Amino acid sequence: MHLTNVFRNASLLLFVILMARFMSAQQEPSFTSRSNLVPVPTLVRDAKGNAVYGLKADDFIIEDDGVPQPVHIDETAEAEPLSIMIAVQRGRRANREFGRIGTLASMLDPILSDQKNEAALLFFDSKLDLARDFTNNPDDIEPALRNLQSGDNGAAILDAVAYSARLLAKRAEGRKPVLLLVSETRDHGSHFTKLDDVVRLIGENNILVFAAPFSPYISQQLDVGRGANKDEWSPNVDIIEKLVAARQAMRKNAPRALTSMTGGEYELFATRNTFETDLTTFSNHLHSRYQLSFEPNDPHPGLHQIRVKLRDPGKNWSVLFRSSYWAEGTK
């Protein structure tokens, strides 16, 4: 009898170990790249903030960890339909902003009225609420946006971004994944997401992030709201240093860090008029980016720094671009 109990306990222990490994494998995100090309959506703006058109691949220089790369440009990507995840904070102080962001639904009409595009709506406080799954019918989105309800005292930004990225990753090939984030600048209450996972999910799925934050705090790590991306990393290849910089930026100001990583746009708003102006700018710039790309030659695994420059630096133009990507190791 004693021997039977020993075998039973040993079997139970083995089962628990195998289940723990299985659950760990299930929870660990997969970051398999969809192709060898690294997309680098790039927006060029003149001194007045207007998008600059008509540039060619030869007008750009792309560096991967400081090494120049051959530049490709996709002229057909502009016609790609959009998959937009709208993530709106309703917890903490967000209810004070409902009057300013109440026109969000109507501001998105020009995008959602195009039947090729689709959108989903996520509300979040300390919890996540997928109010509307992906649809190409604007009438499915607008009622929920027009009737925002206050949430609890949380603002789980990282959880919301990670969840949004996973949903966008499941959309069909040939669609442009976009995250529109309306939130504070600092995370309050995320429990299920690590900073590194957010960086990887956004980078591996080539998601473009637009952020309209309402917090007064401004990140000192990254300066991409107005003007060119600011290099905060060492020119040497140091994965740990890059991860530390990314983590610090995410803790300081998650929306701003995300827009820098993806080449998106970040604009603080304090009034209804500025919010509407920002949304109009975002909408106009959705199809204004040059779809640049390059094919890295046997890249080291981990986080890479991207830098995009104009070959002619004499013009007073600013360049917004995706500043990082993740490469997998050889399996």
Residues paired with residue 82 on neighbouring β-strands, in sequence order: 176
**Arithmetic mean of pLDDT, 160-181:** 91
CATH number at 230 reads 3.40.50.410
Is the pLDDT at 219 greater than 60? The verdict is no
The least confident of 103-107, 198-202, 212-216, 255-259 is 212-216
Other beta carbons less than 10 A from residue 315's beta carbon? 11
**What pLDDT, in 10s, does the model give residues 41-84?**
899 988 888 889 999 999 999 999 889 999 999 876 567 888 99
pLDDT tens, position by position, 114-169: 888 899 999 999 999 999 999 888 788 888 888 888 999 999 999 999 999 999 99
Confidence check: pLDDT of 238 > 80: no
Calpha distance 92→152 (Å, rounded): 6
- C-alpha to C-alpha distance for 128 and 231, rounded to whole angstroms: 33
> How many domains is the chain partitioned into structurally?
3
Query: Are both 213 and 182 inside the same structural domain?
Result: yes
Q: Which domain holds residue 10?
A: 1-30
Same domain, 242 and 309: no
Same domain, 197 and 240: yes
Identify the pLDDT of residue 11.
45
Assign 31 a pLDDT band (cuts: 50, 70, 90). Answer: very low
Eight-class DSSP state of 12: H
Regarding whether 90 and 174 lie in a shared domain, the answer is yes
State whether 70 and 199 are in the same domain. Answer: no
220 and 150 fall within a common domain: yes
Of the two residues 87 and 223, the one the predictor is more confident about is 87
Judge if 172 and 99 occupy the same domain.
yes
Assess whether 139 and 237 both reside in one domain.
yes
Residue 301 to residue 242: CA distance in whole angstroms:
13
239 shares its domain with 269: yes
Distance CA 208, CA 77 (A): 14
Same domain for 115 and 17: no
For residue range 199-213, list pLDDT tens digits in order.
Answer: 788 878 888 899 888
The per-residue pLDDT for 308 is: 93
Both 294 and 320 in one domain: the answer is: yes
Q: Annotate 127-189 with DSSP letters as a single string.
A: SEEEEEEEES-HHHHHHHHHT-----S-B-HHHHHHHHHHHHHTSPTT-EEEEEEES-SS-B-
Q: Give CA–CA dist 284/167, Å, rounded.
A: 24
* Stretch (H or E) spanning 2: helix 2-27
* Whether residue 321 sits in one domain with residue 191: no
